[in-house]
Structure 1
Amino acid sequence: MQEIIARMRAKKQDEGFTLIELLVVVVIIGVLVAIAVPVYLNYRQGAADKSAQSDVRGAVSAVEQFYTDNGNAYPAADVTVDNSAGATSSKELATGSAQKFTVSDKTTLQYHLSTDKLSYKLCAVNAGGSKKYYLYDSSKGGSVAASTAITTANFATCG
């Protein structure tokens, strides 16, 4: 009988974790969270920047389709699509046009026709991203790239 009581006492002493073991686990979890949160936020900013780039690419397609459908003429009026508040997501290139600019959440996109009416610029920025401005210049062609020449002050003309 004493052997059974001794085993029960030994069992009671072995149950659970010590305070030190629990503190070590909490510290390890804290370190992992401290590493993971900034990485996650960087991924979100990168995704927002990619959505602004994608919106510019989509707008290039819409402008070129408009050009083809309207006797080789680009839309005459500048167009701004501001979806920074999430209210408006698309806007016609011109009155009655089938082509529209569609933008992602928190993105502002600007279309600007050059004075000679032979080329145009498209630029966009996403408020949820790194605040980089992305530009496409039809006179140069190429791909959509980040532009350091564009600021809030000259966004209406895409730099």
Structure 2
Amino acid sequence: MKKQDEGFTLIELLIVIVILGILATVVVFSVRGITDDGQQNACDTDYRTLEVAVEAYYAQYGSAGGDPSDADLVAAGLIRTGTSENYTVTNGSISAVSPGDC
């Protein structure tokens, strides 16, 4: 064996490191978008859950039960306490706790 056949050159190693860095950058930016979509989907799901609970409350109690609040929905067994951190139900309407989050 000759001495020049024993390993990789510095240039070859640098090229591999640059390619790995480019791949890592692409992965980081693509994952960042996924987490933003996840937060929006969680907000949409919270809203739909409360919307269905309010409709079920009206179906069960009618207008005689009055307009439900969070406590009324919990008492009726339609949601659990702390179901949504993003929305609250007051007088039968759903509103965002902090509008900037959802």
Q: TM-score range by the shorter chain?
A: 0.7 to 0.9
Partner of 2:55: 64
Residue 51 (structure 1) aligned with residue 42 (structure 2)? yes
CA gap of 1:19–1:44, structure 2 versus 1, over 3 A, is same
Residue 120 (structure 1) aligned with residue 93 (structure 2)? yes
Q: How many residues align?
A: 97
Residue 26 (structure 1) aligned with residue 17 (structure 2)? yes
Hey, what's the Cα distance between the residues in 2 that align with 1:108 and 1:38? Answer: 27
Does the 8 Å contact 1:53/1:124 carry over to 2?
Answer: no
Hey, what's the Cα distance between the residues in 1 that align with 2:27 and 2:74? Answer: 48
For structure 2, the residue ranges without an aligned partner over 5 or more in a row are: none
Hey, what's the Cα distance between the residues in 2 that align with 1:71 and 1:45? Answer: 38
Is the partner of 1:111 in helix, strand or coil?
strand
Is the partner of 2:75 in helix, strand or coil?
coil
TM-superposition CA deviations, 1:106-148 (whole Å, max 9, x none): x4222232xxxxx6234366xxxxx553xxxxxxxxxxxxxxx
CA gap of 1:95–1:16, structure 2 versus 1, over 3 A, is closer
Hey, what's the Cα distance between the residues in 2 that align with 1:18 and 1:95? Answer: 68
Hey, what's the Cα distance between the residues in 2 that align with 1:63 and 1:93? Answer: 10
The 5 Å alignment of 1:100-115 reads 100=79, 102-103=83-84, 107-113=85-91
Bigger-Rg structure (1/2): 1
The percentage of counterpart residues that share the same residue type is 29
Residue 99 (structure 1) aligned with residue 72 (structure 2)? no
Question: 1 or 2, which has the higher strand percentage?
Answer: 1
Please give the TM-score of this superposition, normalised by the length of structure 2. Answer: 0.76
The 5 Å alignment of 1:141-156 reads none
Is the partner of 1:55 in helix, strand or coil?
helix
Is the partner of 1:100 in helix, strand or coil?
coil
Does the 8 Å contact 2:88/2:97 carry over to 1?
Answer: yes
Hey, what's the Cα distance between the residues in 2 that align with 1:95 and 1:27? Answer: 56
Please give the TM-score of this superposition, normalised by the length of structure 1. Answer: 0.52
Deviation at 1:95, TM superposition (A): 6.0
